[in-house]
Structure 1
């Protein structure tokens, strides 16, 4: 498994992963294009044959705040530490860019992701009611501060 820069040619391969993991709340190709066009930091995890196993993105808001945009791992590749490696890459980039605070939103019913984020020092700071549409699922807002 390798981590590398998420490029435009990965978009077609991540869309089925988005559909499988997020259903009606999946991101569109245009949303990924917009993320890349805006210079946000995206990483992709690939296997030895170059197939996408997972991806993650980070947006930095000057002067010192970063937002985890997404962390997603293909179902058949989950529970192998790929999400952890992707998150570590995002946190390293946030630190490199001087972020003192990193935030994210996670579905309130996604306990495994919440546990992962908690192991990296993220703590719940609020709830966005009905954030994920069309399912109307709440989002838990979590924050990690650099000491």
Structure 2
């Protein structure tokens, strides 16, 4: 009798690695395909990658990853900035042909894990008001809508600001909270 084959989710079939300058042309092509009205210019990606290595002994403030399928094709990418106490999702994108298979969730969880490892207390993101699929993903992962930026995007669409706490909100957060109550 043969042993059962371990089933891997589609998202696990993607190889995730740190984004490098060599990835930028493909990332830019996918960026323009997914976000035709508000795609980042090429220089933004290179500028962001310049912050993925720390300077003067300090920790890097940016982290970026790419996800590739078994054939080596770019399936998605994600990046964040962490300036304590906050982390901010700078970008998260999944190619249409790879959507709906858990890759967006995997990349978002990677960003959340990195923010926690960097000791961020909260992670923020902005999402187009006309992107209910992304909003649903973020809500499933514990993000809540905290603010709307009216007409934020170049085409006039609003941006929803969403946040997820990364620390125990009931834990003491200052020396005042640690003191015993005065009798």
Quickly name the TM-score band, shorter chain normalised.
Answer: over 0.9
Shift of 1:49: 2.5
Whether 1:139 aligns to 2:152 is no
Unmatched 5+ stretches in structure 2:
1-13, 53-61, 169-183
Query: 2: distance between equivalents of 1:24 and 1:66?
Result: 25
Separation in structure 1 between the aligned mates of residue 83 and residue 110 of structure 2, nearest angstrom: 17
Q: 2:93 aligns with which of 42, 67, 72?
A: 72
Runs of 5+ consecutive residues of structure 1 not aligned to the other structure:
none
Post-superposition shift, 1:30?
Answer: 0.3
The correspondence of residues 80-119 of structure 1 with structure 2, limited to 5 A, is: 80-119=101-140
The offset of 1:20, in angstroms, is 1.2
SS at match of 1:126: strand
1:56 is paired with a residue of what secondary structure? strand
Deviation at 1:24, TM superposition (A): 2.4
C-alpha separation between the residues in 1 aligned to 2:109 and 2:16? 11
RMSD across aligned positions (CA): 0.8
If each structure's strand is expressed as a fraction of its own residues, which one has the higher value? 1
Residue 48 (structure 1) shift = 1.6
Structure 1 residue 104 displacement after superposition:
0.3
Whole-angstrom CA distance in 1 between matches of 2:97 and 2:70:
15
SS at the partner of 1:25? coil
Query: Computing the radius of gyration over CA atoms, which structure comes out larger, 1 or 2?
Result: 2
**TM-aligned CA deviation for residue 98 of structure 1:** 0.2
How many equivalent pairs are there?
Answer: 145
Kindly report structure 1 stretches of 4+ aligned residues shifted beyond 6 Å: none
Larger helix proportion of the pair? 1
